[in-house]
Amino acid sequence: MSAILISQRVEIIKSYGERRDCLDQSWCDFLHACGFLPIPIMNKETNIEVLADLTRPAGILLTGGNDLATYGGDAPERDRTERHLIDFGIAQNIPIMGVCRGFQLLTDYFGGKLERAQDHVARRHLIRGSFVREVNSYHNLAAKIIPENFEVLAKTDDNVVEAIKCKDHKIMAVMWHPERETPYKQEDIDLFTQFFG
């Protein structure tokens, strides 16, 4: 079973004075359904090369949660860690998939712009393009400007970009959460299996 390095959200627990890294347990189940073993990454850049050397990952997955600090988020350590993951993935030719916030970070990393999205939290909507299907939606931010080296794969009827792919590297991002579907959608399993395979 191939390993996938997977980023984690930051939860701030004020009563304990702690900043905790955490990951929805459903990511483990979803990635297992795709044939992969998730390896969670702490929000410390120093761990990435060591874990990658030990696991020889098939890919990197940037997950949802936490707005980017430049857009009002409160987890700058996560931004730094995920940017380091992108640098590392590109340098080592490791495929990178972004989900929701991961999409937003990749857009920002490559010079695109984000804006507030209307009516895209706890909704379902149809997307069209390379993918024509109904997906879930849990995002406050959407892409206003897509980076020049990316192509748009799918949009909603209200013109929000839902899937992009890099022209220069094996990098892709989607705005929906495959791990939040019950049961998991075969289209998502196939997408992840083929992308990281």
Which residues have a catalytic role annotated? 100, 177, 179
- Sequence letter at residue 16: Y
Residue 81 CA: distances (Å) to CA of 43, 46, 86 = 5, 9, 9
- Closest to 162 (Cα-Cα) out of 183, 144, 179, 176: 176
CA gap 90, 94 in Å, rounded: 6
Say how many C-beta atoms besides its own lie within 10 A of residue 29's C-beta.
13
Burial class (CB in 10 A: 0-12, 13-18, 19+), 75: buried
Whether the bond between 178 and the residue before it is cis, its omega within 30 degrees of 0, is no
